[in-house]
Every structure is written in structure tokens, then in C-alpha cells.
């Protein structure tokens, strides 16, 4: 008789409850509660799969919902446990049984439909540009939200539009994945991505019909919506370019997992072409730019470091900037507490996880001018935390600094007027 399909729960089988994961878990470090550790949560997930605990058990829901989903435990595990796969399966089962919290339903519903998220994100950008978000940012819950919005601003004033002059031989075509929050609030990062890829020999193209990646939905247990968004993106991107370039770690992790999410040959083909922008740049060298005298620290996004296992490439990109003094602070590989919509659902835990990271920046000698990280949620969370602590440190995506370096090298020509 054939074994039943156990879905993501099978990925938990290698766990022997050794405890190596405990120091890598931000929520366990914050609470000291075994049930808020990967080992404790795996026990709950196994009980859920076997039917020993129902999906509507309050303890199961509480402790699994409190997980950041950062997957830092996977890198620490000597047995190769696929914790993320198990968490996805468990959350889908819980969401099917008891539904999602009201705040999650509203947020995920907005991002499932472009006609809803586009005006909402555009309005937020307009508000940011008034300067009021910067004025009202602070340590209170409302002030922290203003700080998150202010952190989406470019690290420096936008320069006039420029045309890159490629410095290497052609390396192929890249379809830029725009996403939702990235496209609405971090358009300057997309433009820096386009320019820096062009300098390194890539031809960047736009692909119509793309939608939100669905990572927020997938992490929350709404896999039906995540699959629908994934199908639409597969249809949009299939066969369009040599690579799909992504400058958001969370989006990239989901897009690289399209095969698992949909299980089709078309999804697998699209997933194989997905690259983080730092992977593309590192594969090209990258080209060394002009000098930028800045003290920076690099903070690894969880879904780049742990989910995608992209660790060397961002540092290789930063090494192409002469004069840049970059380092990784203690805890740079640990979650900042953003985790998609986690901060909206668990604001106290989210801030508690962030505290250690902000403390490391405050204690650094010399103190960095900028914290670099490649994910929108991380940029917003860390930026708001720095503002709440009154630290004069900004946040930026690594490609923003590389873009500045290429500008200093004189490799951008003014775009002719239309």
C-alpha cells in the first residue's frame, strides 16, 4: 500500500531534538520558552499531523503563529531538517481550520489585488514625500510605523535620469521582478538595479502581467492565494528572459520555490531562472566603481541568507566599491523581527527581536553611517528601529551604494530629453 502524501511535514523527520537550533531562534532567545523554539514547535507540528492535537488548539495556534519563519534554525541544524516546509504545512492546516486573524485577512486581501494595493502604496509614498513621516517617527507604536515609512526613502536625493554605459561584454537578458511594496515604495532601488545590471553587461527588460509574489500569503498559511498569484507570475515570465532579477529577498525566496508551490514543469522552468540581483552582479565580477567613503554594516535578510543560501554574493558586490568600509556586526545573520506582516500581528515580539540588532549598531565603533540589507521589510524595520533609538544611521539596499559608486566613476550619461 502506498504511503500517504505527508506534504511538508515529511521534511521534519530528520529532527532528533538535539537543540542546536535553540541559539539560532530569535523568539526562543526573547522568551526562553521551549514551545517558542524550533524543537518545541516541531513537537507541536508532529502532534498536529498525527491528529494528537487539533488544528484549533489554542496552544498550537499561539506558538506556531509566533514563529518568525526566518529559518535561521535550518542553517544551524546538523541533520538537515526542513523546518520551513513543515511550518508551511502546519500553518495551512491551521488557516483552513480556524481562518486567519482579521488584520491578516485585510492585509493579504489588499496585496492579492493590484487594483487595491497600488493606490494604497502610492498614497503611502506620497505621504512619505511630504516629510511628515520623518517628522513624526519615534519609539511609540504609531511613531514606529511612521519610521518604517520614512525608511523607504532613497538614501540620497534622486539624481537626474541617467543612461548607463555597459563596461563588460553582454551577459544576457534580465526580466525585472517588480513586486508590490518594492514597486510602490522602493522604485529607486529598482532603478539602481537596472543601472548596475546594465553596467555589468545585462539587458534589463520589463514584463507585463506580473503580480505580487505571494510570499506574504504563503507565510501566513493562505496557500490558495499564494498559488493563484504564482500561476499568474509563471504565465507572465515563462520564456521572457535568460534570468528573472529580484532585488527583494522575500520575493526571491518564494519565486525560487515555485516548483514546490505549483509542481508544474512551467513553474520549475521559471524558478530555475530566478536570481537575486547580487547573484547576477557577482557572476559578472562585478565591475569595480568609483570611490565612496562610507562606514557601513551589512545585515543579511533571512530569506536571502537562510532560505536562498545566498551569503557570499552581497559581500562580493560591496567589495567592488573602493573606499567603502563594510563589516558584519554581531547578530547580522539573525532576524530583525520584520517577517512580512509579523510586525502588525505581533508588535511586541517584533520589537523585542529587533532590540538586539539596534543595540549592536549603537555599540559599534566606529558607528556605521548606513546599514545595508536587501529586503524591503528589513529596510523598514531596521530603519524604524534606528530612528526610535535616535541613532543618526540610515538604511539602504546594497545596489544603491553600488549605483552611487558607478556614478562616481562617471559611467552614467545624462539621458537625452524626449
Q: How confident is the model at residue 415 (pLDDT cuts 50, 70, 90)?
A: low
The model's pLDDT over 40-65, given as tens digits with 9 standing for 90+, comes to 999 999 999 999 999 888 888 899 99
Report d(CA 303, CA 70) in Å as an integer: 7
pLDDT of the residue at 2: 45
List the alpha helices (DSSP H) in 137-276. Answer: 141-150, 181-185, 187-199, 215-220, 223-237, 249-256, 258-262, 265-272
The model's pLDDT over 286-319, given as tens digits with 9 standing for 90+, comes to 999 999 999 999 999 999 999 999 999 999 999 9
What Rg do the C-alpha atoms of the chain give, in angstroms? 21
pLDDT of the residue at 268: 97
Helices and strands, counts by H and E, the chain: 23, 10
pLDDT of the residue at 245: 98
Q: How confident is the model at residue 1 (pLDDT cuts 50, 70, 90)?
A: very low
The model's pLDDT over 317-362, given as tens digits with 9 standing for 90+, comes to 999 999 999 999 988 888 999 988 888 888 899 999 999 999 999 9
The model's pLDDT over 195-209, given as tens digits with 9 standing for 90+, comes to 999 999 999 999 999
CB 175 within 8 A of CB 205: yes
- The Cα angle at residue 74 between residues 68 and 77, in degrees rounded to 5: 130
Highest mean pLDDT among 163-172, 326-335, 390-399: 390-399
The model carries a pTM of 0.94
With 70 as the cut, is the pLDDT of residue 279 above it?
Answer: yes
Q: 3-class SS at 317? A: helix
Q: Average pLDDT over the chain, rounded to whole?
A: 92
pLDDT of the residue at 256: 96
With 90 as the cut, is the pLDDT of residue 377 above it?
Answer: yes
Q: Which domains are delineated in the chain?
A: 7-98 (1.10.1060.10), 288-408 (3.40.50)
Q: 3-class SS at 295? A: strand
CB 363 within 8 A of CB 297: no
The model's pLDDT over 229-265, given as tens digits with 9 standing for 90+, comes to 999 999 999 999 999 999 999 999 999 999 989 999 9
CB 330 within 8 A of CB 360: yes
CB 182 within 8 A of CB 248: yes
Amino acid at each position: 500500500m502506498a504511503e500517504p502524501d505527508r506534504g511538508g511535514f515529511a521534511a521534519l523527520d530528520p529532527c532528533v531534538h538535539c537543540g542546536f537550533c535553540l541559539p539560532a531562534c530569535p523568539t526562543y532567545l526573547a522568551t526562553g520558552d521551549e514551545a517558542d523554539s524550533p524543537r518545541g514547535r516541531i513537537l507541536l507540528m508532529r502532534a498536529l499531523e498525527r491528529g494528537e492535537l487539533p488544528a484549533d488548539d489554542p496552544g498550537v495556534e499561539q506558538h506556531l503563529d509566533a514563529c518568525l519563519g526566518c529559518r535561521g534554525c535550518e542553517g544551524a541544524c546538523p541533520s538537515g531538517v526542513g523546518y520551513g516546509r513543515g511550518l508551511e504545512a502546519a500553518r495551512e492546516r491551521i488557516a483552513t481550520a480556524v481562518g486567519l486573524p482579521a488584520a491578516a485577512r485585510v492585509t493579504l486581501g489588499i496585496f492579492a489585488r493590484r487594483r487595491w494595493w497600488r493606490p494604497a502604496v502610492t498614497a503611502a509614498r506620497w505621504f512619505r514625500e511630504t516629510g511628515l513621516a520623518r517628522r513624526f517617527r519615534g519609539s511609540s507604536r504609531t511613531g514606529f510605523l511612521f519610521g518604517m515609512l520614512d525608511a523607504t526613502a532613497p538614501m540620497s536625493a534622486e539624481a537626474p535620469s541617467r543612461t548607463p554605459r555597459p563596461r563588460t561584454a553582454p551577459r544576457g537578458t534580465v526580466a525585472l521582478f517588480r513586486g508590490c511594496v518594492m514597486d510602490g515604495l522602493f522604485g529607486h532601488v529598482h532603478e539602481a538595479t537596472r543601472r548596475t545590471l546594465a553596467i555589468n553587461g545585462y539587458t534589463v527588460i520589463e514584463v507585463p502581467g506580473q503580480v505580487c509574489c505571494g510570499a506574504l500569503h504563503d507565510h501566513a498559511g493562505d496557500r490558495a492565494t499564494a498559488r493563484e498569484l504564482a500561476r499568474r507570475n509563471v504565465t507572465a515570465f515563462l520564456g521572457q528572459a535568460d534570468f528573472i532579477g529580484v532585488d527583494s529577498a522575500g520575493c526571491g525566496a518564494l519565486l525560487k520555490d515555485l516548483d514546490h508551490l505549483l509542481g508544474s514543469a512551467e513553474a520549475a522552468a521559471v524558478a530555475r531562472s530566478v536570481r537575486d540581483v547580487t547573484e547576477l552582479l557577482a557572476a559578472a565580477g562585478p565591475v569595480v566603481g568609483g570611490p565612496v567613503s562610507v562606514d557601513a554594516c551589512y545585515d543579511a535578510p533571512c530569506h536571502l541568507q537562510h532560505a536562498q543560501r545566498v551569503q557570499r554574493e552581497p559581500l562580493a558586490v560591496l567589495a567592488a566599491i573602493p573606499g567603502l568600509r563594510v563589516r558584519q556586526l554581531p547578530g547580522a545573520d539573525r532576524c530583525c523581527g520584520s517577517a512580512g506582516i509579523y510586525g502588525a500581528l505581533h508588535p511586541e515580539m517584533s520589537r523585542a527581536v529587533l532590540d538586539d540588532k539596534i543595540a549592536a549598531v549603537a555599540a559599534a565603533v566606529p558607528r556605521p553611517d548606513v546599514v545595508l540589507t536587501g529586503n524591503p521589510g528589513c529596510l523598514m524595520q531596521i530603519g524604524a528601529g534606528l530612528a526610535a533609538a535616535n541613532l543618526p544611521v540610515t538604511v539602504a539596499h546594497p545596489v544603491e551604494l553600488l549605483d552611487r559608486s558607478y556614478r562616481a566613476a562617471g559611467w552614467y550619461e545624462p539621458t537625452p530629453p524626449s
